[in-house]
Structure 1
Amino acid sequence: MSAERFFCADAARARGDALPGTAPYGLVWVLLEHHAPWPANGYDGLPLDPVAQSLLFEAARAVRARILLIRRHGRRAPRPGPRRWAVLRYDATGAHRQQWGTWERDEDLARIADVLEAPGEPGETGHPPVVLVCTHGRHDTCCAVRGRPVAGALSERWPDLVWECTHVGGDRFAANVLVAPDGVYYGGLDAASSVTVVDQHLAGRVHAAHLRGYTDLFPAQQAAVAAVLARYGPAARHAYTVAGTTRAGPHWLIRLTGPAPSTTPYDVEVTAHRTPPRQLTCNGLATSAAMLHEVTRVERGRVHHD
């Protein structure tokens, strides 16, 4: 008799794996529309002209950008005509930038590389964010099983904002949603909760529930923000500012201020430790330890007036 099939997201939920502090760092994202089946390793596995492919890869690596393949929900077969691309840039002021274009030939990827290498911060501000749902089944089964219902529910509500995308990290937290260029990761979603979470996000209210973290922060800082949101209620993406971070071994003290324009301080103690080795993905049979950032204290300080 064969062993029962392993699903990493089921196992993570059964263990109660913590979401806060698990968002990968990122300030720039390159989106590349691609309708044909996605290779397991995403952009790297596409059968593109090697020179053009390498040009974009190197430009993205230079600015630590992540290249994600995207497609609209339900569209599996290749379609004729140009495909869309985008460069999304996070900005700490909240004036996030987006630049969109189209590509038909592999050589067109050079245009995206030029955008990444351009001095300054090219792109337009004021656009609504892009909602990316990981449905990369060839990378991890749970991403498809849990991601596609979420992509369907969100696409029905916000058809112009939502795209399916390749691997964004954290397979065991599927379904994963990345809101970019805001730089916010949500995980552990289903069709119903994803609509609630995205609706609140678009209304300027980030909730602690399902929040993995902000991509401009270190994991301990992400956990601190999530803890303050959980205790004091949802707030806008840029409501809290990290005013100080000190570390002594595995222990962190994070000082936050906000919500803006307030300067109320919050001191959050976070302890980092590794979990026992576990199988963390559906396809990777090897076990590995995950880093957990546990919040041990949240305290609101006093505002000092001169």
Structure 2
Amino acid sequence: MSSGCVSGTDRRAWAGSCSHPAGCHTGDLPVLASATVGARFWLLIEHSGPWASHLEDCRLPEEIHALIRRAQNLGIRPQLIRRPGHRKPVTGGIHVMVADATAPEPWIAEGVIAGPSDLDMDALVAGVVPESCILVSEPVFLVCTHAKRNACCARIGLPLARSLAEVLPDRIWETSHVGGDRYAANLVCLPHGLYYGSMSQAAAIAAVDAYRSGEVILDRFRGRAGIPEPSQAAEHFVRAHTGELSVGGVAVESSRSDGVTTEVLVRGGDARFRVVVEPMTLTTPCGTACAETVTTYRLVTLDRLTPVRYATPALA
């Protein structure tokens, strides 16, 4: 399933042209299993804008373009970020944050660098905090407000980012395209890379509070970035079946596909589950620029297997 807004078209031709009425992003559209697959590692670069529809077209200092290119070559997802409502140029170096979303213990770190050579991105993809950055203990929340990519992201995302910033001024950032414009407003919770879509202010506050407490809310939960979409779907169905909402309480152990059907072995709480899912396509209620159809996943079977066995410590 594509994380973009329209397939089979030149995105640059329609970027920012969405004509959805406000009622088309209310959460009625299924959002599960739609988090961006290619986002295991993150590079956030503070830049006040303006942002073109694609990062390579933005008017940025060459050192920032160099950071973006190197990140993309290493499979790191680059994002431009800015404080909600803040449009003053950033001075005094380049403020960056880096995150490993799929480590056994996901982490995020930040630093201020003079140029691209000061950030060791090879260390990041090796799961090591770059020397120029310092680990931070508080989560970071990104709200997509990328108007030139899709108008809905700004129309819905901007007021959401500003309202959240009133509650958590130091942890909320506007960001460039995160994938899935049809699900605006999009919220990303780092370092775990949890995606939420079609967010209202109340839903976003609930999701932020839950994540800060180490939990997930299934309402409007798109999934965890960096893992295949069928695995995201399997995790979702296990959470719904067991009521296990802790962030680390559900994890995929293995998966295999047979045609369009995928069988996934999932650990959920104190048990393992065999989950079979398959894609399904739905027609959207509005059918305008964002998407005429959306691909989601349906549950075929979910079977509880043997309990998870933990090793017993040896006696002295």
Shorter-chain TM-score above 0.5: yes
User: In the alignment, which residue of structure 2 is the partner of 1:99?
Assistant: 110
Q: Secondary structure at the match of 1:199?
A: helix
1:217 to 227, 240, 246: 227
8 Å CA contact retained: 2:95, 2:110: no
User: In the alignment, which residue of structure 2 is the partner of 1:129?
Assistant: 139
Deviation at 1:290, TM superposition (A): 4.2
Q: Secondary structure at the match of 2:245?
A: coil
User: In the alignment, which residue of structure 1 is the partner of 2:172?
Assistant: 162
User: In the alignment, which residue of structure 1 is the partner of 2:31?
Assistant: 19
Distance 1:65 1:256 in 2: 26
1:271 to 266, 278, 286: 278
The more displaced of 69-78 and 122-131 is 122-131
The more displaced of 271-280 and 129-138 is 271-280
Distance 2:91 2:74 in 1: 32
Identity of aligned residues (%): 26
RMSD: 2.8
Residue 256 of structure 2 corresponds to residue 246 of structure 1: yes
Q: Secondary structure at the match of 2:277?
A: strand
- Pick closer, same or farther for the CA change 1:58–1:209 going to 2, 3 Å: same
TM-score using structure 1 length: 0.83
User: In the alignment, which residue of structure 1 is the partner of 2:304?
Assistant: 300
Q: Secondary structure at the match of 2:297?
A: strand
Distance 1:251 1:186 in 2: 25
Alignment of 1:120-199 (within 5 A): 120=126, 121-123=128-130, 124-125=134-135, 127-199=137-209
8 Å CA contact retained: 2:187, 2:196: yes
Q: Secondary structure at the match of 2:236?
A: helix
- Pick closer, same or farther for the CA change 1:197–1:278 going to 2, 3 Å: closer
- Pick closer, same or farther for the CA change 1:281–1:78 going to 2, 3 Å: farther
Residue 237 of structure 2 corresponds to residue 237 of structure 1: no
1:33 to 43, 46, 52: 46
Distance 2:308 2:143 in 1: 43
Could you give the per-residue CA deviations for residues 139-174 of structure 1, whole angstroms, max 9, x where no partner exists?
111101111122122211111111110110101101
User: In the alignment, which residue of structure 2 is the partner of 1:86?
Assistant: 97
Deviation at 1:220, TM superposition (A): 0.5
Could you give the per-residue CA deviations for residues 53-110 of structure 1, whole angstroms, max 9, x where no partner exists?
553233212321111111111112436544521222224312424232255xxxx234
Distance 1:126 1:239 in 2: 23
1:67 to 78, 86, 106: 78
8 Å CA contact retained: 2:51, 2:59: no
Distance 1:150 1:187 in 2: 12
The more displaced of 239-248 and 81-90 is 81-90
Q: Secondary structure at the match of 1:60?
A: helix
8 Å CA contact retained: 1:178, 1:186: yes
Q: Secondary structure at the match of 1:301?
A: strand
User: In the alignment, which residue of structure 1 is the partner of 2:213?
Assistant: 203
- Pick closer, same or farther for the CA change 1:254–1:168 going to 2, 3 Å: same
Amino acid at match of 1:180: L
Structure number with the bigger relative contact order (C-alpha 8 A, sep ≥ 6) is 2
The more displaced of 122-131 and 200-209 is 122-131
User: In the alignment, which residue of structure 1 is the partner of 2:57?
Assistant: 45
- Pick closer, same or farther for the CA change 1:153–1:231 going to 2, 3 Å: farther
Matched residue count: 287
Distance 2:301 2:189 in 1: 29
- Pick closer, same or farther for the CA change 1:48–1:193 going to 2, 3 Å: closer
Q: Secondary structure at the match of 1:302?
A: strand
Distance 2:107 2:288 in 1: 32
Deviation at 1:8, TM superposition (A): 7.8
Distance 1:305 1:171 in 2: 41
Structure 1 gaps of 5+ residues are none
Distance 2:298 2:179 in 1: 20
